[in-house]
Amino acid sequence: MSVNNSSSFIRPEEFWRRLGLQAGQRVVHLGSGAGFYLIPAAKIVGQSGSVIGVDVMTHLLSESENRAQREQVAGVIHTVRADLEKNQGSTLPAGNADWVLVANILHQSDPAKILTEAKRLIKPNGRVVVVVWDVVATPLGPPAGQRFSKETMLSIAQTVGLSLVKDFAPSPYHYSLVLKVTGKSAE
């Protein structure tokens, strides 16, 4: 993914296209917030796909729904209020998502619990995509002491049965891991 300059931030449409998101696919975003990634994903998957935003904060889910309405993708985006640190916390059915996104929330939660839920949700050949604030000093994001190194995040992923397909830097401030269920083909 190209970044024009050091002040660039993640461009969610470019992010999804780089990953290979396609029309008709199902995306679940755990910790979706106000929908930064939801709207671009909905535009790509179209009416034949679906995008589900899961968050514990009702006002952020309402903002996602309002944005979806304004962007004319309300029929594609659905939201669920849930506590992701509980067992099967999203309340969504298992094995039903092509992509599960976990972006910028692992510094404020239990990463193993969140990744376990993400793993539960993906189809057998689905992918979990993790976006994490890099441990280097950045002008944005959480304090450095709350961030995880790529090595630590990979270790946590392996502990819950996920393995690395690829990694990349979606911005100068983040790293991203594309994960699959351990033992599944990399396709």
Q: Which residue has the higher pLDDT, 110 or 100?
A: 100
Which residues, in sequence order, are CB contacts of 151 under 8 Å at separation 6+? Answer: none
Whether the per-residue pLDDT at 4 is higher than 60: the answer is no
Could you tell me which of 90, 99, 82 has the C-alpha nearest to residue 117? 90
Q: What is the pLDDT of residue 186?
A: 52
pLDDT at 5 over 60: no
Q: Among 78-87, 115-124, 160-169, 177-186, which is the least confidently predicted range?
A: 177-186
What is the pLDDT averaged over residues 95-108? 91
Amino acid 133: pLDDT: 87
Model confidence band, residue 96 (pLDDT cutoffs 50, 70, 90): very high
Going by pLDDT thresholds of 50, 70 and 90, the confidence category of residue 9 is confident
- Report, as an integer, the average pLDDT of 70-81: 96
Instruction: Answer yes or no: are the C-beta atoms of 180 and 139 closer than 8 Å.
Output: no
> pLDDT tens digits, residue range 142-173?
887 788 899 999 999 999 999 999 999 998 88
Residue-wise pLDDT for 14-73, tens only, equals 999 999 999 999 999 999 999 999 999 999 999 999 999 999 999 999 999 999 999 999
Token pair, residue 4, equals: 């024009």
Please report which confidence band the pLDDT of residue 184 belongs to, taking 50, 70 and 90 as the band edges.
low
For residue 2, what pLDDT is reported? 37
The Cα–Cα gap between 52 and 34 comes to 12
Average confidence score pLDDT of the chain: 90
Q: Which fold has domain 12-181?
A: Rossmann fold (3.40.50)
* DSSP of 34-63: T-TTHHHHHHHH-TTSEEEEEES-HHHHHH
